[in-house]
Structure 1
């Protein structure tokens, strides 16, 4: 019996990187997983990679109509036991070069998308369900030209404190999982000098892997963390701790 045997999980941004690795691990542990992604081709490839007990739903978390369509499909399972609001992205821009497009794009996906991903899931959430939000070490550690992204993740961290109180009577746990720099396709697209600078501040001397972050997500999703709520779990090689 897996740690998530018979559970129903929703993972947004589940086509690559941390989301895909987590979906693979959740399925291995017995869950049926719904994953989302904006691009149909990548979504189809992710579903094929996962192989079984997975449903792919194309959509953008910043688009509320897409979220409504997602939950119409998920509702056929009757409930949600785990919601991993993982969809998001980062983008560098230094003070003096911030544009409205940069700001709105980050906040629409990382903050608005996360909020409505969870709010629209609440009617389907089982009592005792687990809500996991993807935060970031950037919310606690200043990084030049990366602070608008960091501000979005600080907002996400604030959500969890309130939801822990609001949902306590239903036994629903809410936690933030905050990775440090991780070897994902999105990170690979960032400027090499910016990545090198971040890695130089990690005590363990390397970036994390999606599989390492997925194992932490499994902990927060499973009964192993049954008395854990309202926390920010850093999986960052020590970067935010020094």
Structure 2
């Protein structure tokens, strides 16, 4: 059986978890935090998520894990069969990660621990987010999913990317991203209204206290 190593408060962990649940793949969830001996044993970078396959291979990086699941378990595909369409899905995934999630992530210390940040950095992050949002508006159809009538890996990616980006933008940048992306609100409601999303969200909430204790412990080292 596959083992998913990570923690339910992590949006990247939840991307892979959602894909596993969508495909109906049996797996064990090993809750472990970054840079701990347990995580380093399965991923030399010490990051979540990581995965141990049924054959014992250890893998990391969420996009690699989602691609592996698609290759190893092609039932209930998360990518289109057409090569061009598959590339479009991966393009949206990469834009979501590099130009929406990663710039927003830079402000997580400010959000979680009230670490001050210079206006110059805020403006830089806002600029990168703007480019990402403009790209998303150009490439995504929201009809009702990002690339059309079928849910793909891009939808799963964006759902958990936006969970961080919206929280940071609202609380640190005082910026409601839903007003910048036409169709995002209806799409978000659609994505949230599934048994899989509700389970992932409930597990995330249940893990919040333990994760915050882990973060607090880092500050004492």
Q: Which TM-score tier does this pair reach, normalised by the shorter chain?
A: 0.3 to 0.5
Q: Please state which structure has a larger fraction of its residues in strand.
A: 1
Greater length-normalized contact order (CA 8 Å, ≥ 6 residues apart):
2
User: Structure 1-normalised TM-score?
Assistant: 0.35
Q: If each structure's helix is expressed as a fraction of its own residues, which one has the higher value?
A: 2
Normalising by structure 2, report the TM-score.
Answer: 0.37
